Amino acid sequence: MPLHIQTPLLESLALSRAAGTQVWLKLEALQPPGSFKLRGVGLACEHHRQRGAMRFVSSSGGNAGLAVAHAGRSLSVPVVVVVPQTTSARAIELLREADAEVIVHGSSWVEANALAQSMVEASDAFIHPFDDPLLWQGHASMIDEVAAAGLRPDAVVLSVGGGGLMSGVIEGLQRAGWDEVPVLAVETHGAASLQAAMAAGKPVAIEAITSIATSLGAKQVCDQAFALSQRHPVRPVQVSDAAAVRACRRFLDDHRLLVEPACGAALAVVYDALPALADFKRVLVIVCGGATATAEQLARWSAELPG
Ligand SMILES: *Cc1c(COP(=O)(O)O)cnc(C)c1O
């Protein structure tokens, strides 16, 4: 039995009306730790457990860390997560509630990650947040479920951080024989590392992350995501933080699900009926989720952000 659950796939009247086209939702927000990450992380953790790993080590204060904590709990393997001082109290609380040992270290992820790496012993497994073929293989299972349900979308809308989700979804599309189904790859303006790589024609790092959508905050996408953007129809789309937050709040009213702005970015493409959708009649949105935002935080962002 995999550690993730099979998620609902449903047609959204509210989003279909907003977009003026048929919109289907894959509700990854319902995975127990709150995001799609459990699919890939769960598969990776099971793999390492079977090979004798005695501890899982992560350096993500976000949804990847939460997925590792959940997997460790399910497999009775201890988990340690090293997070930077910038990590929210909420995220640390969620990690501790899931029985992870949390070590707060360094002013940014780079320092936290360096300490985490230095702690990895021979009997440990380090679980990367987005750059690992096992993760992509696990994430691909969400498209297997869509295909098994008999739904063939003519476009898939998803958010991109480090590109693990996109790599997994494209793996799933290819497995289903849907090589020509385009992916609308959505980033916020201050975290557009995929679009930077596609513009440069090679994986490049952007200078800084300035978006509140911290789960999209990878300065450089993994090589696999860039390589797939050259082999599969991938259309990069950018939205503002304000649009992402607005989409989260509308989605909370429409579907009673609270998601992070990282997920709101993909929803914003639909709610704002962006031109990127114009060619499509049946759109699948990956509702990737995210557990680290609260309704109160969303309200604060929307008061603070311009537009
Ligand atoms: C991790 C994450 C993303 C981005 O996924 P990548 O694999 O890093 O591209 C998007 N949304 C949420 C909620 C996430 O947790």
pLDDT of residue 143: 98
pLDDT of residue 22: 98
Q: What is the mean pLDDT of residues 179-203?
A: 97
Most distant pair of Cα atoms in the chain: their distance: 54
Tell me, yes or no, whether 110 and 161 share the same domain. no
Tell me, yes or no, whether 164 and 287 share the same domain. yes
Summarize pLDDT for 96-140 with one digit per residue, the tens: 999 999 999 998 888 999 999 999 999 999 999 999 999 999 999
Residue 146: pLDDT above 90? yes
Tell me, yes or no, whether 228 and 83 share the same domain. no
Atom nearest to 221 CA in ligand 1: 9
Centroid of ligand 1 to alpha carbon of 168 (angstroms): 11
Residue 61: pLDDT above 90? no
- For residue 256, count CB atoms less than 10 angstroms from its CB and return exposed for 0-12, middle for 13-18, buried for 19 or more: exposed
Going by pLDDT thresholds of 50, 70 and 90, the confidence category of residue 181 is very high
Q: Any idea what the CATH number is for the domain that residue 282 is in? A: 3.40.50.1100
How many domains, the chain? Answer: 2
Residue 210: pLDDT above 90? yes
Tell me, yes or no, whether 61 and 27 share the same domain. no
Tell me, yes or no, whether 69 and 198 share the same domain. no
pTM of the model: 0.97
- Tell me, yes or no, whether 3 lies in a domain: no
Summarize pLDDT for 236-280 with one digit per residue, the tens: 999 999 999 999 999 999 999 999 999 999 999 999 999 999 999
pLDDT of residue 63: 96
pLDDT of residue 250: 98
Phi and psi for 217 in degrees, rounded to 5? -85, 60
Measured torsion, CA atoms of residues 195, 196, 197, 200, in degrees rounded to the nearest 10:
120
Residues 6+ apart with CB under 8 A from 93: none
Tell me, yes or no, whether 119 and 197 share the same domain. no
260 lines ligand 1 (CB under 6 A): yes
| Cβ contact 3:74 at 8 Å | yes
Phi and psi for 4 in degrees, rounded to 5? -85, 165
Q: Is the dihedral of CA 72, 128, 194, 205 positive or negative?
A: positive
Q: What is the rounded distance in angstroms from the CA atom of residue 224 to the CA atom of residue 25?
A: 25
| Cβ contact 100:71 at 8 Å | no
pLDDT of residue 182: 98
Residue 307: pLDDT above 80? no
| Cβ contact 265:213 at 8 Å | yes
| Cβ contact 213:191 at 8 Å | yes
Residues 6+ apart with CB under 8 A from 197: 203, 204, 220, 221, 225, 226, 229
Residue 306: pLDDT above 90? no
168 lines ligand 1 (CB under 6 A): no
Q: Percent of the chain beyond pLDDT 90?
A: 95
Identify which of 130, 251, 260 to mutate to test ligand 1's pocket (most ligand atoms within 8 A of the CB). 130
Name which residue sits closest to atom 14 of ligand 1, judged by CA. Answer: 215
SS (H, E, C) 69-116: HHHHHHHCCCEEEEECCCCCHHHHHHHHHCCCEEEECCCCHHHHHHHH
Tell me, yes or no, whether 41 and 29 share the same domain. no
Q: What is the rounded distance in angstroms from the CA atom of residue 270 to the CA atom of residue 254?
A: 13
Q: Per 3-state DSSP, what percentage of the chain is helix, strand, and coil (rounded to 5)?
A: 50, 15, 35
pLDDT of residue 175: 97
Relative to beta strand 124-126, strand 55-58 is parallel
Tell me, yes or no, whether 185 and 170 share the same domain. yes
pLDDT of residue 88: 87
35 lines ligand 1 (CB under 6 A): yes
Name which residue sits closest to atom 7 of ligand 1, judged by CA. Answer: 164
Q: What is the rounded distance in angstroms from the CA atom of residue 254 to the CA atom of residue 79?
A: 36
Summarize pLDDT for 14-23 with one digit per residue, the tens: 999 999 999 9
* Mean pLDDT (the chain, rounded): 96
- Tell me, yes or no, whether 2 lies in a domain: no
Structural domain span for residue 102 = 37-129
